[in-house]
Amino acid sequence: MSEETTEEINRRKFLIKLSLALGGIAAAAVAIPVIGALLAPLLKKNPQTWRTLGTSNDFKVGSTTLISFINADPLPYAGITAKSAAWLRRVSENDYIAFSANCSHLGCPVRWEETAELFMCPCHGGVYYKDGTVASGPPPKPLTQYQVRVYNGEVQLLTAPIPITTLNTSKK
């Protein structure tokens, strides 16, 4: 073999090794965030916090009120995005029910139509009854419910991290 051929083989081996190393680094750069995203739900605890919405006297029986509260796991830099909303309905003297302010179809904000006693979604025409069940339209399931309690005369809502689709809808 001549000197040129040996140099060419060494250069070729070097470039192959360099390509493999750079490809490995690129693959690791992509794989680490993907693996982190897949494992995050398993490693992250699901914080829930009771938030006070007001006193029992603040809500009339039969009324449905839009309430605002801070999420259960707000990040320090979240600003206004740490806030969430729900519709609080006082069913009777001691019974409250709270629904997510977002449609179960695509997450658009629903509005309460008091005269019709319906929740309406403006995005795709989803309609919900006052108990949160689907009346018509594309929503696949009822509005997500929050747990509500009256504690020391204050109405409280059990918040959960976003997305709220992971909420426990059982009542205490």
Q: Which residue has the higher pLDDT, 5 or 134?
A: 134
Mean pLDDT of the region 87-110: 89
| pLDDT for residue 171 is more than 60 | no
Does the CA dihedral 126-86-141-104 come out positive or negative?
A: positive
- The region, left, alpha or beta by phi > 0 then psi within -120 to 50, assigned to residue 134 is beta
Mean pLDDT of the region 118-136: 91
Mean pLDDT of the region 59-65: 90
Compute the half-sphere exposure of residue 44: CA atoms within 13 Å on the CB side of its CA: 13
The whole-chain average pLDDT of the chain stands at 83
Rounded alpha-carbon distances, angstroms, from residue 98 to 23, 85, 89, 145: 52, 10, 6, 6
What is the pLDDT at residue 105? 86
**pLDDT grade, residue 172 (50/70/90)?**
very low
| pLDDT for residue 163 is more than 70 | no
| pLDDT for residue 160 is more than 80 | no
Which class for 80: exposed (0-12), middle (13-18), buried (19 or more C-beta within 10 A)?
exposed
What is the pLDDT at residue 170? 43
Mean pLDDT of the region 118-134: 91
